[in-house]
Amino acid sequence: MEQQIEKLLATVTHPETGRNLVESGFVEHIAAAAGKATVVLRFAKARDPFAVKIKNQTEALLREAFPGTEILVVVKEGGAAPRPEPKTRTMTDGIAKVIAVASGKGGVGKSTVTANLAVALRNLGFRVGVLDADIYGPSQPKMFGVEGYTPLAEEQGGIDVMIPAEAMDIRLMSIGFFIKPTDALLWRGAMATSALKQIVHQTKWGMLDFLLADLPPGTGDIHLSIINELKIDAAVIVSTPQQIAVADVVRGVEMFRNPNVNIPVAGVVENMAYFTPEELPDNRYYIFGHGGAREYAERNGIDFLGEIPIIQSIMEGGDTGRPAAGIDSRVERHYRELAEKIVGKVMKS
């Protein structure tokens, strides 16, 4: 029975590495006797974000295979050694701080905020890069007007590195450079993860003060994989007023705060918060409601980073490949405030 169990464990893969539990060296002990089976798994990392998921998956698998047997899967984290996997070489050493921009769901302006925040940080004098990891709808190439860019490769120290696109002094690498828009939905799971891994580590980022990572909307395995790859210093969550209370946003915050992930949430940005007509610059119309984001943030001990209004040039900037924070002074002001707040928080940490 123990051999059968081992065979089954070899079918459970770790979502991050794509390697099964046996070949990863994570199976510490298997014991089966008198209607009971115990498996002890020991992971390499002290805090493995996939530990609970793998434990549940393993238990379900064994229960199904051995009905009537009492199954116990014990997980110990940290210390599985030696980790047989060769260490990936990485070009990320010159990046000082990585900020993830996330949202509970699509369409709230996460990519727009990422692009404009990048420009605002550049305007403050920082060296900035953008990693577009939104496998479901990579839009940074369009935002920066570099659609169709094909990253060239050059050899550096024996490995191939890719040259990022550059627009408005910002280095940009996108999963969108490698897939057709019609492919996007097919790019899930392991394939997307390994492509992103390559983009993260093999892009010639050079020296950067900030790398902004535009994450896919929502929460899931793919997020945890990216998060694990990047050593993220802070997460910024983008929301719109009408969905702020929805479970999606809470889940987004919880994903980062999960003890196994443990990434500081810099705060929540409320995008498309209100509308001000050009001819009535002092009027604010809170079309989608008001105060929800601030309230939610305060209740959950998260900083509220500010409101970005609905401004036509923001949308136009996204369509014409020039983020409005670089051309419209009204937009620039909002994003400068946001950038300064984030810099203040991230530099302290």
For CA atoms 272, 273, 274, 276, the dihedral sign is negative
Site membership for ligand ADP, residue 106 (CB under 6 A): yes
Binding-site member from 111, 202, 203, 239 for ligand ADP (CB under 6 A): 111
C-alpha to C-alpha distance for 179 and 150, rounded to whole angstroms: 11
Provide the token pair at 11. 């079918």
For residue 115, with 0-12 CB atoms within 10 Å meaning exposed, 13-18 middle and 19 or more buried, which class applies?
buried
Q: Which stretch binds ligand ADP (CB under 6 A): 33-41, 53-61, 224-232, 311-319?
A: 311-319
**In 3-state terms, what secondary structure has residue 124?**
coil
Q: Which is nearer to ligand ADP, 18 or 321 (CB)?
A: 321
Residue the block writes with tokens 């590195």: 161
Regarding 219 and contact with ligand ADP (CB under 6 A), the answer is no
- Least distance to ligand ADP, CB of residue 314, Å: 4
110 near ligand ADP (CB under 6 A): yes
- When asked if residue 311 is in the footprint of ligand ADP (CB under 6 A), the reply is yes
Which residue of 17, 24, 112, 140 would you call a contact of ligand ADP, by CB under 6 A? 112
**321 lies in the binding site for ligand ADP (CB under 6 A):** no
Residues 215, 314, 339, 342: which binds ligand ADP (CB under 6 A)?
314
Q: Omega into 241 within 30° of 0, i.e. cis?
A: no
Angle in degrees, 0-180, between the axes of helices 110-123 and 312-320, rounded to the nearest 10:
90
Contacts of residue 215, defined as CB under 8 A and 6 or more positions apart, other chains included, come to 100, 101, 102, 110, 133, 134, 223, 226
SS3 content of the chain, % helix, strand, coil (to 5): 40, 25, 35
202, 225, 239, 271: which one binds ligand ADP (CB under 6 A)? 271
> What is the nearest approach in angstroms of ligand ADP to the Cβ of residue 227?
18
Pick the piece of the chain touching ligand ADP (CB under 6 A) from 25-33, 107-115, 163-171, 177-185: 107-115
Q: Minimum Å distance from CB 158 to ligand ADP?
A: 37
- Contacts with ligand ADP by CB under 6 A lie at 103, 106-112, 139, 271-272, 308, 310-311, 314-315, 318
